[in-house]
A and B are shown apart, each in its own frame.
Chain A
């Protein structure tokens, strides 16, 4: 079955600390991978996506993600977070040309 798993529902972190938000998927077909961010009371916006090529993808606001095909993962990282990074982060996987599936989201809470 095709699925997307974000195991961490909430990740608390102190300002200027590094963070990693985990995303795993299961699929027997080729995939395209996304991270979307949702700031409070707003819609989702694209943070970054992996289509092909280099497995390390850089996005907006200093975030990056690495596609690991053998581990079927697409973890999101930032070396130093800011208060303004507090938001909900959704991993999404496009399975082939048809279906886009969102994970359940990870709430990143950055405190001073």
Chain B
């Protein structure tokens, strides 16, 4: 029961470089999410996807791009990394959306440092 797998778990990159964080889930959940976790802010939603080829912006989408060509994969790309994007990124999934009492299942996180 692998659940949600994120890669890489740890990444250091330079300002201006493109970085892609991968996310793979084995539950066939319809919804997938990307959150970032920062001290003092808790978790903030970056993007989410209701199904393959359907994505939508969350609270903090600027500087990020997502795609979902297959139900099980939901990569997050930082097109030109900035220091303010240094954070811990969590991929998550759920059977339904993030509202109405549905449980969200999280991956173990990707620690990204932009220098």
> Are both chains from one complex?
yes
Interface of A is mostly: strand
**A43-B108, A44-B106, A49-B103 are known contacts. Are A94 and B98 too (CB-CB below 8 A)?**
yes
Looking at A36, A44, A49, A102, which has the most chain B CB atoms within 10 Å of its CB? A44
CB distance from B107 to the nearest CB of A (A): 5
Chain B interface size, as a band, is 20 to 34
| Cβ contacts under 8 Å, B108 to chain A | 41-43
How many A residues face the partner with a CB closer than 8 A?
23
Cβ-defined contact, A95 with B107, below 8 A: no
Cβ-defined contact, B43 with A90, below 8 A: yes
Cβ-defined contact, A103 with B42, below 8 A: yes
| Cβ contacts under 8 Å, B40 to chain A | 104
B interface residues with partner A (beta carbon < 8 Å): 4, 40-45, 90, 92, 97-109
A interface residues with partner B (beta carbon < 8 Å): 32, 34, 36, 41-46, 49, 51, 90, 94-100, 102-105
